[in-house]
Amino acid sequence: MEWNLLEKTTFWIEGAELQGANLDDAAAAAAEALGFDPREIMVVDVQPGIIAFDVLKKNIPAESVAGKAEQLLRGLAGVSGITLHPGASVHSEGVLGLIALDRHAALEVISRSAEISQAVADAVARRACVFSSGSEVISGKIEDTNSPYLVQTLTQAGFKAEFGGIIQDSLPAAVSALEAALMRGIGLIVTTGGVGAESKDHSVEAVLKLAPNAATPWILKFTPDMKRHHKEGVRIAVGRVGICRIVSLPGPHAEVRLGSRALIEGLKAGLGDEALAESIASVIRERWLNHMGTGGSVHVQ
């Protein structure tokens, strides 16, 4: 597992004297002891009895630092020009302070951290947030039947589901709403509406802003007329930000019912993003094929 250093990237050795030492060699020895690339550690300060290092990365493997004090000191003692006093010790604030743990304590911390991390990940994965979108819903012109249905359906599937609100018809508003849900530790975000070809539709684009590798299969394709249809057609999105899945479904309630069923089945089956997106898209495409066939200027993909 990896730990985030949370801006606490410096560690130092007390009881170290330098005389003609090459600081690049010192950094390389520290990097080797911790299993880092030599370019990921540098010496940032040398004072009487102290040499300080900075780690040039945000996330580090737990096994690289916990309980590595003895190995680190031994490596530095082998660098020409560095002399370590008998009581030399390693110090740091934050995660890097775990370097000083003894081997047994380090293994226990790693084991417990992995268990806690998995427990947190499992809890986050079962938290769901549902958003609807559109000025028509905000103004009350149409009833939002999608959100109550999705909250109930996801709850029945074992999620702790909540309604996140109605997203305005703008890309910044959509991105902001999704980011706020991510920051609250939501593991599954589902939006409805805003996936069409009109200029006011931004749900898929919002997902792509946060998850550039999201799967976005087409449901229908149009020939844009730049009047009503400003984009090529209707598509859905399934993307991932960390351990969170973001899914954008169409707005029609019948399609939400079909899509949500495929979503839950796909999640239970452990499908990846592309397979999950295609599973959802295929059932919605089938509905369109049954209603309109494949002819005309609108094409079912």
Cα 132 to chain centroid, rounded: 22
CATH of domain 126-300: 3.40.980.10
Spatial distance between the Cα atoms of 1 and 111, rounded to a whole number of angstroms: 10
Give me the amino acid identity at 63: E
Q: Where are the domains of the chain?
A: 2-119, 126-300
CATH of domain 2-119: 3.30.70
* pLDDT tens, residue order, the chain (301 aa): 444 444 567 888 999 999 999 999 999 999 999 888 889 899 999 999 999 998 887 776 666 677 788 888 999 999 999 999 999 998 876 555 556 556 666 666 656 666 655 665 677 789 999 999 876 776 677 788 999 999 999 999 999 999 999 998 899 999 999 999 988 889 999 999 988 877 788 999 999 999 999 999 999 887 665 556 567 789 999 999 988 999 999 999 999 999 999 999 999 999 999 999 999 999 999 988 887 654 544 555 5
Q: Is 51 helix (H, G, I), strand (E, B) or coil?
A: strand
pTM of the model: 0.63
**Residue pointed to by tokens 């899509």:** 259
